[in-house]
Amino acid sequence: MTATRGLEGVVATTSSISSIIDDTLTYVGYNIDDLAENASFEEVIYLLWHLRLPTISELKELKKQLATNMELPKEVIDHLKQFPSNEVHPMAVLRSAVSLLGIYDKEADVMEEEANYRKAVRLQAKMPAIVTAFSRIRNGEEPVAPREDLGFAANFLYMLSGKEPEAVEIEAFNKALVLHADHELNASTFTARVCVATLSDVYSGVTAAIGALKGPLHGGANEQVMKMLTEIDSLENVEPAIRAKLNNKEKIMGFGHRVYQQGDPRAKHLKEMSRRLTERKGESKYYEMSTMIQDIVTSEKGLPPNVDFYSASVYHSLGIDHDLFTPIFATSRVSGWLAHILEQYSNNRLIRPRADYTGPGKQEYVAIEKRG
């Protein structure tokens, strides 16, 4: 056996959901550029779960199902109010709350196809409710109930602030959700598939995926990008700060990608939304700082920005707390996790790789009184 660090280049399964070929990302064969410019997030959810775009009536029905399932059980809200809100990261809260949802779902352990689809709808709907409810609770406010007349992106922003969002805000957030929805066999998606391949339940699979996404080398990168921008603070500080990081061989979050060689195709869409939103908010310095950082890092290291880099300034311009950036990633990516979970169930085989042993050779047991 030959070990491959990080399983780089190893093909672990087959999938009909998304692909990355020659730096082109597609969902079920649809180019991400096409979907980012034209599709609603609800259409993308349907596409990932059914492997085709919905009809008008099918989309209307999915939107209705999502809107009517967004409210959280009272028991889960009560738990959210008991968490040490000023001490715990929202990703830890999201991980725990999703696990709690499984406790209060009577179908949690029912493994039939129709039941799993119903759980997928409920989970997709309740993820934004968890994130927004906790955000409000820790600020001393009550959760805001979703509105059935608002779409998924609009409802998230509404439940977060209590105010109906503007069209450009909905457009930006919808685009971010579409771009983050799925990404082939990334770390969190692989984690979800490994979990449910044991025939564990949907809630366990999503809880495991959230745990994987929480890390700064996966979903946590956009929060770290905003932390860097905040610390640099001004255009004058960009060049000395970034060059100092490069000289010290520090990792600059938001650049490079394990799979893309020529650049992340999602980044340009969020770069444009960052420009529009920061100018509108009178905070164009964050966009300008970002482009300066991009120029330096790409010139010096040959690394283009990935999707995390500009999503940071987009979310900041929407007035979203920085530690909510990764939970928002999860709110989108759960659509892909659920698609892969349903696909894994449909043609399951336990995922059990091997390890190349590098420990000591044959040894003999020595009684404890004879050990030196």
The residue annotated as part of the active site, out of 182, 308, 316, 340, is: 308
Nearest Cα residue to 317 out of 134, 176, 109: 176
Q: Please indicate whether residue 257 is annotated as part of the active site.
A: yes
Lowest mean pLDDT among 9-23, 125-139, 181-195: 9-23
Contact 123, 76 (CB under 8 A): no
In this predicted structure, the answer to whether residue 273 has a pLDDT above a threshold of 80 is: yes
Task: State the DSSP code for 27.
Answer: E
Task: Give the residue-averaged pLDDT of 274-300.
Answer: 92
Give percent of the chain with pLDDT exceeding 90. 86
Residue 86's pLDDT is 78
With contact defined as beta carbons under 8 Å apart, do 196 and 345 qualify? Answer: yes
Q: Region 331-337: what's the mean pLDDT? A: 98
Question: Which position has the token pair 């809200």?
Answer: 77
Element (H, E) at 174: helix 167-180
Burial class (CB in 10 A: 0-12, 13-18, 19+), 142: exposed
Which of 92-101, 104-113, 148-157, 305-314 is predicted with the least confidence, judged by mean pLDDT? 305-314
pLDDT tens for residues 209-266?
999 999 888 888 889 999 999 999 999 999 999 999 999 999 898 897 878 878 899 9
**Whether 308 is catalytic:** yes
Output the six-digit token pair for 214. Answer: 């929480």
pLDDT of 344 over the 90 cut: yes
Q: Is the dihedral of CA 260, 263, 268, 271 positive or negative?
A: positive
Q: Of the listed 257, 269, 316, 340, which one is catalytic? A: 257
pLDDT at site 8 = 81
The domains found in the chain, sorted by start residue, are 16-215+322-346 (1.10.580.10), 221-317 (1.10.230.10)
